[in-house]
Structures are given as structure tokens and as C-alpha cells.
Amino acid sequence: MSADEDSVPASPDSLFDEPLISPASLTAPPIPGLFFSPSLLLPIELADRVFTFCSERYFKRPGVNQVMLFGEEMIPAPLLDLLSALSPFLRPALPHGVHELLFPAAPTMARQAIVNLYNPGEGISSHVDLLGRYADGIVGVSLGSACVMHFTRTSSTMGEEQTADVFLPERSVIVLSGEARYKWAHGIERRFEDVVNGENASVVSVPRGLRISVTFRWLLPGADVVGEHEP
Ligand SMILES: O=C(O)CCC(=O)C(=O)O
Ligand SMILES: [Fe+2]
């Protein structure tokens, strides 16, 4: 707090005028190329199967919280099943061109699947997925727990920073393409609970549980050098 702020007399109400955390939206923010619907949830059985598979296959060892799989031949059957299910699942929710970007009849690039594990209190720093490594068209699935994803426009023209927070329930799917992929950074705050807009103008706090995300991206040609815990 600055000296100036210190000298402003506080009234009890003023504590609530500017909440430290502004509540996240339940619906997609108006970011071109971002597609998300809170009511579009994967079937429970599929989500449970993928969550259990990832927990047991990748996250038994303490300290491991990220796995990257390069190329469909390296992506195991449960994750390929998820990918196959995502195509018809997302078709009604996406413009034709964006659906084609994610699920082309004849792919020209290799797929990458990245699986991230988050304990309550953990997150991922704000980032734009590597421009030199991944192409356009990213699809992310939330499993096991919800979280709020924070978006920041990277090249705001003079003036205020543009941000948006969206609540991603478990079993939801988010698609980043075009401007949402290239001009906005995304991240997850390191928190134990998220603050979300509820019904009838209420604000609710949603505790985080163990979350696993599965993200599918396209590898740019030649971008097959593997790094450690990259975005
Ligand atoms: O966990 C998520 O939903 C986001 C992961 C992510 O942004 C990344 O791995 O690049
Ligand atoms: Fe990312």
C-alpha cells in the first residue's frame, strides 16, 4: 500500500469496494478465437477413465507433474480415445474453420498431448504457448477439479491492461485459436480456491481439488526438441 493510500480514511464499506480478487465469469470472455461453454461437459465415464489413466500412468511418482507426448504413435489409447471423442463433441460448438483446424481430415503436423497435474494451491504462470514450437489450434480438457483460467492481452494498445477470468469446470473443454492463441496469455493462479460469479449476482468461493488437464496442440514442422516443464 502506498503512503497516499495509507492516508485515505477507511470506512468499513470501502474494504468491499475493490475486492482483491475479481470473480471469474462462468461463460466465455469475449476473446476472438476462444471457445468455451460451461454446459458443454464431457461424459462422466470418459472423463473418469482418462483421469484415472493419467493419475496411474504418469503421476504415481512424487514430483512429476507434467508429461509431454509427441506424435500420435506416442499418445496412449485412452488419450487418443479422448481426442477422437472431442471431434464430434466440439463440432456443434465451433465454427467450421476452427473445427477443421483442430480435426483436419488429413493432418499435416504431428500432435502433441501435454498432461499437467495441479494440486490445490498450484497453477501455471501466465504464458503464450511457444510460438516457435506450436501451431494454431489448442484444445484443453479439465479433469478432476475446476479452476479459473486467467487471460491477459499481450500487446494492449495504450491504456488499460485487458484481462479476463473464466471458470473452467471439471469435464469442460476450452479451445484457443487465432487471437486467443497468439495475442492473449493464459495462466492459472496459485490458489486453494477460486472466486466465481454465482447465481443471482452472488459471489462464491470454489475450493480447488486435484486437477489434471490434457491439452492437444500441433507441433510445427521441425519443432521436436523437448524442453523441461515448458508452457
Ligand atoms: O492446465 C491447463 O489447463 C493449461 C495448461 C497450459 O496452458 C499449458 O500446458 O500450456
Ligand atoms: Fe498453455
**Higher pLDDT pick, 84 / 9:** 84
ipTM of this predicted complex?
Answer: 0.99
Collapse the DSSP code of 190 into the 3-class scheme (helix H, G, I; strand E, B; otherwise coil) and give the result. coil
Residue type, 111: R
Confidence of residue 198 (pLDDT cuts 50, 70, 90): confident
Residues 22-219, CATH architecture: Sandwich (2.60)
List the residue whose alpha carbon is closest to atom 6 of ligand 1: 231
Q: What's the pLDDT tens digit per position in 63-113?
A: 999 999 999 999 999 999 999 999 999 999 999 999 999 999 999 999 999
Which ligand 1 atom is at minimum distance from the Cα of 149? 3
Pick from 186, 208, 229, 230 the residue to mutate for probing ligand 1's pocket: most ligand atoms within 8 Å of its CB.
Answer: 186
Residue ranges per domain, the chain?
22-219
H or E element, residue 148: strand 147-153
213 CB within 6 A, ligand 1: yes
CB of 215 closer than 6 angstroms to any ligand 1 atom? yes
User: Over the stretch 150-167, which tens digit does the pLDDT of each residue have?
Assistant: 999 998 666 778 999 999
Set of cell numbers at residue 173: 473443454
The CA 11 to ligand 1 mean position distance, Å, reads 41
